[in-house]
Structure 1
Amino acid sequence: MSGLAPRAVVVSRPSELSSLLARHGTRGAAAFFLKSRGRDLDEVTARDAALTSALTAVGAAIPADWRRGHVSREDLPRFLFGPEDVVVVVGQDGLVANVAKYLDGQRVIGVDPEPGRNAGVLVRHQPAAVAGLLRGDLSGEARTMVVARLDDGQQLYGLNEIFIGDAGHQSARYVLSVSSSVERQSSSGLIVGTGTGATGWCASIARDRATPPPMPAPADPAVCWFVREAWPSPATGASLVGGVLSGAQSLELTSESERLVAFADGVEADALQMTWGQRITVTVADRRLQLI
């Protein structure tokens, strides 16, 4: 044990109003921009106030004897989380997924600043509940994650899904190997998703399949995978297009394109880069999100 007091790390992202003011300079210019798109500044201002109020309430709920920190979404790749941290995510469900891949066992409290606007699958709590949660036993639900490892040692974790393919979502060429089957393919990419992500990108692909693989539950030690738009040709096949990986099973992809990428949970700015001949292996991760 380190002997350090727990640290509450609050994670948020700038509000739309903040981004508009940074881009346009003044509220008047921001209002004109929104009006030209059929929107109103009052709505954006109200959402900014809701986020500010939630962050204020969460800050006041942190016990006085705890250490505290705050990190914005864009700074997550550079932030060092400690093993004793309790992470309080204030925002949309997707923000929990954004932070999850940078954690290793830290407990996470998801706080919804606008109840009723978000699905609330991962941001389950209202700001007023945070004080009681931080002083409670902080027991939570372990949610399965997925990991992709390059043959040079780089690795990437995801809570919802990992995408592998062309950076512009154009045709990607590679050799796919799974469950002792091997096929050379040309497609618009591959998605490997968890039970948490099974209601998102994976679900939209599954709806177009006549017989999609069964979707795992969020805590199941399994992930589902889909090839998007595999193109059958004399040189490429389209028979390996979906399935489930459980336990230690893996999926392996060897690039036959000059540049492919792998990114998790929609964060394309934090991607692994693959060149011709590089190999990436995807499995159920050995770490899990500890969601309160």
Structure 2
Amino acid sequence: MKILITGAGGFVGQYLARELLKDPENKLILTDITVFSTPPSSIHPENAICIQADLVKEPQAVLIEKMDAVYVLHGIMSSGAEANLDLGLKVNVDATRHLLDCIRKKGWHTRFIYGSSIAVYGRPFPQKITEDVYPTPEGSYGSEKVICETLINDYTRRGYIDGFAIRLPGVIIRTGAPTQAASSFLSGIIREPLAGKKCVVPTKDRSKTFWVCSINDIVLNLVYILGLPSDVLPLHRRVLNAPGMVVTIQEMRDTLAKVAGQEMLDYIEEVEDTTFADLVQSWPCNFDVSLASGVGLSVRETFGQAVEEYVRSL
């Protein structure tokens, strides 16, 4: 298959590209706005082309041949989108819309897989959140995701693309430096102590729950959607809430101590951030993912297994 991945220099993009490059039949176009390279340890790196491009200004630059599938993973994360509305709209909405329009005008009817977010939901939360719950985002990032989901629904209904949007939980354990995501500390609470660095957790409430998923499960579900029959969802309702797991800050601390030693907890500093506290309350964690499970998406790793694998990777 010929597959385009946007945001390919990012964390999820790199893992997804590496997974897809296990298949010698896949030919990848990888694009990002910054300089990046093919993921290290890829089995077939010769099957990937890296293109640095601004999708707002030149989306056609990455559509150099007919694509069987497109993964849209680029974006300005939650805190960044909230701090700069214009930039968030440009990157999170305009770049995606321009890409959709290029594909529409070429008449490719491409499988279009969009990485959305649980940030589309806002309070008050029902007892269980399903895809039937109306999105009421409490931040610009979630609002921008809803806009793109709506476009994907409409373009699929019209027959321009064969689209799916998957609302991702918090992805763990992210490698590298902290990101602009407000949820960055969910990886930092494991990542930073293991690197001998301090992690500031912006709440002292260790019972607070979060909806997360390991990077391996995220990638395997994204790949699974590549072959999902188009008729599993109505043409005008193409959104799935990705399976995940609930974890508390206390459970994250306990897992870190169990896997790497009690002394790792000394690197964690908990502060009460009133601004952050309100943001945290807008993150749902009570999901019913029976629709996604019914079409074959799943969670295979526990939080402990995700941490153990991250430690092994170091």
Tell me the TM-score range normalised by the shorter chain: under 0.3
Bigger CA radius of gyration: 1
What TM-score, normalized to structure 2?
A: 0.25
Greater relative contact order (Cα < 8 A, sep 6+): 1
User: Which of the pair is proportionally richer in strand?
Assistant: 1
